[in-house]
Chains A and B, each alone.
Chain A
């Protein structure tokens, strides 16, 4: 059995008096597709943001790809990671945001090529060749010269996925990537993610309210509530036969709100 690519060990995180993660532990295997579900404020987005080093942790340890994320070893001792260590670890991880976070002053092509050229020293021609492959993969090869403001939400999000992929991360984090989209645009983004899952062995973690998609897509579902994982299992177990009362009432509410499971 291979080693987990992500090992989260007793992570705690508070925003002021609000304890958003309360001793959270979890493991993710290489290539696994993981869906994180749960009510808002349950900490599922926070753990993604912590993995992307967008938040600091209050306590605990995280290992990514065999190395400590927030700590580094110096003379046999664990110390808080410095910026250089964090930069090294970030190479393993990419993230796609709910609101796309594209660079509005750069065209689609430049959005995708900026980071590879700056962080990997790729020449422009090489970066653009790779960007065209990725834009082709997300179905937007014809939009390379467009500005983000000229794109629909679904197209923006597909560009954002291509931009994250351009750095070839081992792990991709998807933070409610369809929540800001008009309903008719959701499917084009989900299709890209299905394609990505089919064509690569990338580890994918997604926070989502698309229960139907989570059901079909994920290898494993984690149900978060109040900063802890209350229940986890195969999609069928969680969605068809939830054991915990809190999972049951959450899913009932979601279904009442009209979501397909």
Chain B
């Protein structure tokens, strides 16, 4: 029995690493999403081109390959990252590219009349974006951001390939040490699912809070 609880401890340690990766990766993804998503609707060609290149590149190549580059190739450019840093970097940039399109779509979904009201009230481009467009667009982004965060959570399992002891990695360790397959794999299944539920729930309550007062105006 004590042996099992010891193994469960290993798995929970892995879960902590997974949570850490998810949180830090999400923060980076969020930053990248807003930078690239707003870059996509910029007035300036160079900014648009940079944002588009970033999005297409990171959506168009595999997260495995990106992670291997971050961990194994960057050192050749004298940039050595710890497994955690490499994981956060690859996950954040990858998911950020998807979420950038969410940001762009949401900004474009805000009606033209809102932009015109900003002009008529003489708000600058950034003032209008910050106080009028983005707060409304955020509500449109949230459900898909929830999707992206869950995708990111599940993608964290690839970091076990660069020997970071996350949830999936620890499950493999427990399996090889005990010979039991069912216990570690059931545990990680349940833990991933529980973490995803927490994200869903968090996003939904955020949505409810932000939609307050808007009843009947937008869905």
Contacts and interface: CB of A to CB of B under 8 A. Distances in A.
A197 interface: no
B60 interface: no
A107 B217 CA distance: 13
B123 A115 contact: yes
A105 interface: yes
B135 interface: yes
A99 B122 contact: no
Given A104-B214, A118-B127, A148-B217, A167 B113 contact: no
B116 A101 contact: yes
A101 B136 contact: no
Given A97-B113, A118-B127, A149 B122 contact: no
B115 to A, nearest CB: 9
B213 A164 contact: no
Interface string A115-157: 1001100000000000000000000000000011110000000
Contacts of A196: none
B117 A52 contact: no
Interface of A: 52-54, 87, 90-91, 94-95, 97, 99, 101-105, 107, 114-115, 118-119, 147-150, 163-164, 167
B109 interface: no
Interface string B116-140: 1101111110010001100110010
Nearest to A148: B217
A148 B136 CA distance: 14
Contacts, number: 69
B122 A115 contact: yes
Contact of B120 (A94, A107, A118): A94
Contacts of A52: 119-120
A132 B132 CA distance: 21
Given A118-B127, A118-B131, A54 B136 contact: no
Given A97-B117, A118-B131, A104 B136 contact: yes
Given A101-B116, A104-B214, A163-B121, 17 more contacts: A54-B119, A90-B120, A97-B113, A99-B113, A101-B113, A101-B114, A101-B117, A101-B120, A103-B117, A105-B139, A114-B123, A115-B121, A118-B127, A118-B131, A147-B213, A149-B216, A164-B120
B35 to A, nearest CB: 23
B117 A53 contact: no
Interface residues on B, range: 20 to 34
Given A114-B131, A118-B127, A107 B119 contact: no
B184 to A, nearest CB: 47
A118 B116 contact: no
A91 B215 CA distance: 33
B218 interface: yes
B216 A103 contact: no
Interface of B: 113-114, 116-117, 119-124, 127, 131-132, 135-136, 139, 213-218
B214 A149 contact: yes
Given A104-B214, A107-B213, A87 B122 contact: yes
A152 to B, nearest CB: 13
A16 B134 CA distance: 31
Nearest to B125: A83
Residue of B114, B121, B127 with most partner-chain A CB within 10 A:
B121
Contact of B132 (A97, A103, A150, A164): A103
A150 B139 CA distance: 19
A102 B113 CA distance: 9
B120 A95 contact: yes
Contacts of A87: 122, 124
B119 A97 contact: no
B213 A149 contact: yes
Nearest to A173: B120
B213 A119 contact: no
Given A103-B132, A104-B217, A114-B131, A54 B121 contact: no
Contacts of A101: 113-114, 116-117, 120
Contacts of B119: 52-54, 90
18 contacts: A90-B119, A91-B122, A94-B120, A101-B114, A101-B116, A103-B117, A104-B214, A105-B139, A105-B213, A105-B214, A114-B121, A114-B123, A114-B131, A115-B123, A118-B124, A119-B122, A147-B213, A164-B121
